[in-house]
Structure 1
């Protein structure tokens, strides 16, 4: 948004007025506006066995939906849909829809990767259904490059975040180039990949599945999708679990003035969540023997000092291809899953401490998979306000590091691509968030979540009209990916009966950090330079999780 003809988010009075009018129209729209029960939009799903070997137990289908739900007779787009049939005896009791986060997380990868983590009682009773949201994955997708090879070549040139003015200029230029590529491809699609568009798609899929009301489990960005659905279609909420929460108001509202003073992730508090979780990682590691945490220096204080020294050392002299930016990015991503992520991260840090580069993962086999990193920007940048001036980001970086720690650099620069993004969502939903739903919503959040901090879970529960907050006294990004039998019991009871946990309910994690016997791992980087994957799948690919799903790991 630095060149004539490329719009800036909420820049100027005209843009502010347009945004206000859109918000007013969204707020005034009836609950079923644009929904399938209007009689114009219908989806038919023809289920077939999924072709990929790794998904042999799943069924796949393609749904056709309107590009613009306000124009159901216009252009249509495809949604890739996947399900696992209920495993219990007899017929399924209905469907449980799942969104793995992002934006940019494809359900056709996410569901196979996380299916076994769903409570057995829910897998027995319900078909578990997911999909690649519009603009993502195998659905009609935002693709700004001619091939996977071209996209990966571009991606490899861009570090996780820039260090120094020269890298900052190159980073800004690269994402300006990306924005222009995307604008040339399919500008119409770019305007119709908002969270509200996807929520309306979800309602069509609900109806196609034969469900009167929606049962849903959304993690990370999927919580924003759940909250949006709940407020667009409050009468159609059956059971809605939001886990690892995005603060809806912070996502859409940048405060006073036409120009955002803070970037999205700083408003969400992700930098503070990472800092708090990293502190817990180092404290637990320091109290553990080196047989459980390879990076332990014998005490929490000594391990924190060792970590600071390592970052200073790598900043001055990279270890092979491991730059300061790559090391920080790897640590941030490694905090998401306690087992095995924390142990693997400790191994990587200890290997770097010894002056050796960690082992790179094997190169993926088979045809190149389109990385799709621009797909996350297509959703995020089009609906969540961010500063349009590139010069603002170094200032935000300094402020955020002072507020938290060096991991904040990653969070700040992850929003900079929005400064040049060429499109704004045609029909964003900006609130209100407190419409009374047919059934209450269950909000779940870990206390130490490195991406969606606990205060965001509190904000979600407070903003929704009918919601209960279940606290996981634990670590990592989302309770689904960091198991707790206690959380599962509450979720199962809620989905089956509608009963929320008692007010103030808290659960413990099943396995505390660095206590799992025989947990030692090799010091292998979690992802290849061109990958954003964090959860391995049987076929050697991996599930992307928010925010790694929507903010790519890159070569340092």
Structure 2
């Protein structure tokens, strides 16, 4: 039976009673006992895996339990498992895989079990928290860092730098945090991946798909264990050279270009984009929005209890750029604000927050603790760090200042990972790596994918000719088939391949529509 027919028969939801009985019979697999899950989606399996707590202390018998989630394959015989990391750092992965189980089964061909775990520092796994209450976190982290100053406001930027030093000192003195923070770095995360492989795979080989920060983790595990890499996809690539050794300046390289081209696409679809009739060319429209942001720096607006200042608008734009699905709402909100309708902007802005599309409060300090603990930076004062802030804004006029917080806190951070990968990422993996970069990605530019590929022999960069963060944000049959071919038989696309997307950014479509068209997901209309 073909994969398409299997998927259509099983509805890719792995929840039918036949699947459930099969699941109960196959819970024990090598070193992991799979059981029921706390997640509501049917058919999912969970397990705990005990791993060493500190890989630098082989004489220690201290251990850590990793929480695993598995989405069973829907075709037989299965080819093994694919491990996932969806980014961050600081985000638990099990919930994301649980929510998107059907989509990722379809994207990977249905021949593999899909496995995710909550990495160290995330969820309840060595949670990186420096505060006892949410109110404390708001007082020291959220409120002081909600205003993102530019280098033009040296007083505010200096205050931000000082505030990050306060947070670093709080974390350094929080009971148990220094020890915990030293155990959550990316090198230990890579070793955890291989522990999972040893527990669930008969061949001892890693198959992996990492997105965003997951690409830094993927590059690290590939460099540390090149002879154990069977298939590895890194998608929406964070430059690991900068991640470990300096500041993530390159991450903002395509931010302005992406935003400008969103406006270009908007003007092509005035019936779908609220900004489409405001101007006749994208440069003038871009200028209007930049002028609006500049005005809000000097004279913020208020709608009810919502403060609409430049930081709020920039934060809104930052996260709204991540997916074409949110472009129409972003355009409607910006058009409302340009027209003086603060109520409508506030409604959309607050709706984004309620839906979790805008991150206003981290549940813990893991994004700082993991990233900063992984870095080795020279000791510098605020004035000595100034060139970094300037470089960030030079890279992106629109959002480069949003890199100031991470740069400042990492400069002040004291707790280092017990193990850091210190190599140059030059390696020959057992099977070459597939590296995917979007043409218009506001957070991980295509050049980062190319920079990583230069380090790994035989790897191929596939340019996904779409918008958003990572290839799954904008559907392309070409990219989907390339991923299928890679996981199914190891086939890599020809170097220089560009996969065009199947719909324009403002069209009411998602990658699931493409998967349905390909027959990899069932059509809900036919099932109704």
Task: Tell whether the 8 Å contact from 2:127 to 2:364 is kept in structure 1 after alignment.
Answer: no
SS of the residue corresponding to residue 68 of structure 2 reads: strand
Partner of 1:110: 96
Q: CA deviation at 1:160?
A: 4.9
**Aligned-CA RMSD value:** 2.6
Partner of 1:129: 115
Partner of 2:279: 298
**Across the two proteins, how many residue pairs are aligned to each other?**
460
1:181-209 CA distance string (max 9 Å, x none): 22233211211222111000000001111
Match for 2:164 among 140, 155, 175? 175
Residues in 1 aligned to 2:277 and 2:366: alpha-carbon distance in whole angstroms: 39
Residues in 2 aligned to 1:187 and 1:480: alpha-carbon distance in whole angstroms: 37
SS of the residue corresponding to residue 193 of structure 2 reads: helix
**Structure-to-structure mapping, 1:107-506, within 5 angstroms:** 107-118=93-104, 120=106, 122=108, 124-158=110-144, 159-162=146-149, 164-184=153-173, 185=175, 186-212=177-203, 213-254=205-246, 264-266=247-249, 269-294=250-275, 296-299=277-280, 300-320=282-302, 321-338=307-324, 340-355=325-340, 356=342, 357-359=345-347, 360-361=350-351, 371-386=362-377, 388-506=380-498
SS of the residue corresponding to residue 265 of structure 1 reads: coil
TM-score norm. by structure 2 comes to 0.81
Partner of 1:59: 45
Residues in 1 aligned to 2:39 and 2:129: alpha-carbon distance in whole angstroms: 22
Residues in 2 aligned to 1:467 and 1:128: alpha-carbon distance in whole angstroms: 23
Change beyond 3 A, Cα 1:122–1:404:
closer
Residues in 2 aligned to 1:408 and 1:325: alpha-carbon distance in whole angstroms: 12
Change beyond 3 A, Cα 1:348–1:393:
farther
Residues in 2 aligned to 1:157 and 1:50: alpha-carbon distance in whole angstroms: 36
After alignment, is 472-481 or 141-150 more displaced?
141-150
Instruction: Spell out structure 1 runs of 4+ moving beyond 6 A.
Output: none
SS of the residue corresponding to residue 377 of structure 1 reads: helix
**Gap regions ≥5 residues in structure 2:** 1-29, 511-528
Structure with bigger RCO (C-alpha 8 Å, 6+ apart): 1
Partner of 1:76: 63
Residues in 2 aligned to 1:151 and 1:58: alpha-carbon distance in whole angstroms: 34
Partner of 2:517: none
**Gap regions ≥5 residues in structure 1:** 1-42, 255-263, 519-556
TM-score norm. by structure 1 comes to 0.77
